[in-house]
């Protein structure tokens, strides 16, 4: 039987992979029904699947291709995890890169209960 920390690691991997491959429903399935998302920190919290799906729609509507590449972690302890990654958005001939740190809490099934994304426009750079 898999422990909750292993389930959390798998959820984080599916969260990153599903977003990168454009699998909206798979990505949303990683969240608990009453999950909250604050992305970025300081923005209005989105509560529940419909609101979180709206974030997907807004974000994925910015560009045809956005990939999330894990750069550190996840560090998992109990029902919490933190990890660093880069969001790489292809815009024409340029790639916009945003370094992000996500801090999440999880339910007993390893689904995301809360997500807080730490990033700033000041950290954006192009390649």
Q: What is the pLDDT of residues 1-59, one digit of tens each?
A: 679 999 999 999 999 999 999 999 999 999 999 999 999 999 999 999 999 999 999 99
- Band of pLDDT at residue 62, cut at 50, 70 and 90: confident
d(CA 53, CA 27): 9
Choosing from 15, 57, 93, 123, which is the catalytic residue? 15
Specify whether 39 is catalytic: yes
In whole angstroms, what is the distance from residue 82 CA to residue 74 CA?
6
Residue 66: what pLDDT? 96
Average pLDDT value for residue range 61-72: 94
pLDDT band at 64 (very low <50, low <70, confident <90, very high): confident
Domains detected in the chain: 4-119 (3.10.450.50)
Residue 1: predicted pLDDT: 60
Pair of tokens at residue 38: 């604050």
Q: pTM (2 decimals)?
A: 0.94
Long-range contacts of 25-28 (CB under 8 A, 24+ apart): 27/56, 28/52, 28/53, 28/56
pLDDT at position 122, please? Answer: 95
Q: What is the structure's pLDDT at 72?
A: 99
Catalytic, 15? Answer yes
Which listed residue (17, 29, 34, 39) is catalytic? 39
pLDDT for the residue 120: 96
Query: Two tokens at 82?
Result: 């933190």
Condensed to tens digits (0 to 9), the pLDDT of residues 74-123 reads 999 999 999 999 999 998 899 999 999 999 999 999 999 999 999 999 99
Distance CA 69, CA 92 (A): 20
Count CB-CB contacts under 10 A for residue 113. Answer: 17
């Amino acid at each position: 039987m898999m422990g909750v920390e292993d389930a959390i690691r798998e959820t984080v991997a599916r969260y990153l992979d599903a977003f990168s491959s454009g699998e909206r429903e798979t990505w949303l399935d990683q969240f608990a029904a009453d999950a909250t998302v604050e992305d970025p920190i300081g923005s209005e919290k989105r509560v529940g699947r419909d609101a979180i799906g709206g974030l997907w729609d807004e974000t994925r509507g910015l560009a045809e291709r956005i990939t999330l590449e894990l750069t550190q972690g996840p560090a998992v302890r109990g029902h919490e995890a933190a990890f660093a990654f880069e969001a790489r958005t292809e815009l024409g001939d340029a790639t916009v890169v945003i370094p992000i740190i996500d801090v999440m809490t999880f339910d007993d099934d390893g689904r995301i209960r809360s997500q807080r994304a730490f990033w700033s426009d000041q950290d954006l750079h192009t390649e």
